Chains A and B, each alone.
Chain A
Amino acid sequence: MNFKHKYFFLFPGLFVLIGILIFPIIFVVRLSLSGWNSYNPGLDYIGLENYIRLFTDDPRFWESFFRLSFLSVTTVILQYVIGFALAHMVWKDIKFKRFFRVLFLVPMMTTPVIMTVIWRTFFHESLGPVNDLLSVFGVAPKWLTDPVIAKFTVIIVEVWQWTPFMFLLLLAGLLSLPKEPFLAAAIDGASPVRKFIYVTFPLMAPISIGAIIIRLIEASKIMDTVYVLTSGGPGTSTETSSFYIFIKGLREFQMGYAASMSFTYLIIMIISLTIIAKVLTKVLLKE
Chain B
Amino acid sequence: MDLVANNLSYKPDDQYHLNEVSFNFKEGNLYTILGRTLSGKTTLLKTIAGLLTPDSGEIEFDGKNFLKIPVWERNVAMVYQQFINYPHLNVFENVAFPLKQRKIDQSVINEKVMDALNSVGLVGYEKRKIQELSGGQQQRVSLARSLVKNAKILLLDEPLVNLDYKLREQLRDEFKNLFSKGLADETILIYSTTDPRETMELNGEVIVLDEGKVLQVGPAKEIFENPNSLKVAEISNDPPMNIIEAKISDNQIRFEGIDVEAPQHLSKLTEDGLKIGLRSSDIELNENGHEFEVELAEISGSETLLHLKRGYTKIIVSIEEVLNFKIHDKVKINFKIDRAYAFHADGKLASSPFGGLNG
Contact = CB atoms under 8 A, between A and B. Distances in A.
B51 A186 contact: yes
A183 B97 CA distance: 13
A184 interface: yes
A57 interface: no
Interface string B134-178: 000000001001000100000000000000000000000000000
Contact of A187 (B49, B82, B86): B49
A159 to B, nearest CB: 29
Interface stretch (B68-76, B225-233, B321-329): B68-76
A82 interface: no
Interface string A177-205: 01011011111111100100011001101
Contact of B101 (A178, A188, A205): A188
Given A180-B80, A198-B100, A190 B87 contact: no
B149 A181 contact: no
Contacts of B85: 180-181, 184
A54 to B, nearest CB: 45
Contacts of A203: 87-88
A187 B71 contact: yes
A269 B281 CA distance: 76
B84 interface: yes
Say what secondary structure dominates the interface of chain A.
helix
Q: How many A residues touch the partner, as a band? A: 10 to 19
Given A188-B98, A189-B102, A194-B101, A183 B51 contact: yes
Contacts, number: 63
Contacts of A188: 72, 77, 97-98, 101, 145, 149
Interface in A23-41: none
A208 to B, nearest CB: 13
Interface string B45-68: 000011100000000000000000
B78 interface: yes
Contacts of B98: 188-189
A187 B88 contact: no
B80 to A, nearest CB: 7
Nearest to B75: A189
Contacts of A191: 70, 72, 101
Contacts of A199: 86
B78 A187 contact: yes
A184 B75 contact: no
Contacts of A202: 88-89
A187 B50 CA distance: 8
Nearest to A177: B87
Contacts of A186: 50-51, 71-72
A198 B97 contact: yes
Contacts of A181: 84-87
B86 A190 contact: no
A184 B51 contact: no
Contact of A184 (B50, B84, B102): B84
Contacts of A205: 88
Contacts of B78: 184, 187
A198 B76 CA distance: 19
A145 B251 CA distance: 109
Given A190-B72, A202-B88, A205-B88, A185 B97 contact: yes
Interface string A142-167: 00000000000000000000000000
B148 to A, nearest CB: 9
Interface string A202-223: 1101000000000000000000
Contact of A180 (B71, B72, B82): B82
Nearest to A195: B72
B308 to A, nearest CB: 43
A187 B149 CA distance: 11
Contact of A189 (B84, B142, B149): B149
B191 to A, nearest CB: 16
Contact of B87 (A178, A189, A194, A198): A178
B72 A189 contact: yes
Interface of A: 178, 180-181, 183-191, 194, 198-199, 202-203, 205
Given A184-B85, A186-B72, 7 more contacts: A180-B84, A184-B80, A188-B97, A188-B98, A189-B102, A198-B100, A199-B86
Among all A-B residue pairs, the 8 with the closest Cβ atoms: A188-B98, A180-B84, A189-B101, A186-B71, A202-B88, A187-B78, A184-B84, A189-B72
22 contacts: A178-B87, A180-B80, A180-B84, A180-B85, A181-B84, A183-B80, A184-B80, A184-B84, A184-B85, A184-B142, A185-B97, A186-B51, A187-B49, A188-B98, A189-B72, A189-B75, A189-B149, A198-B97, A202-B88, A202-B89, A203-B87, A205-B88
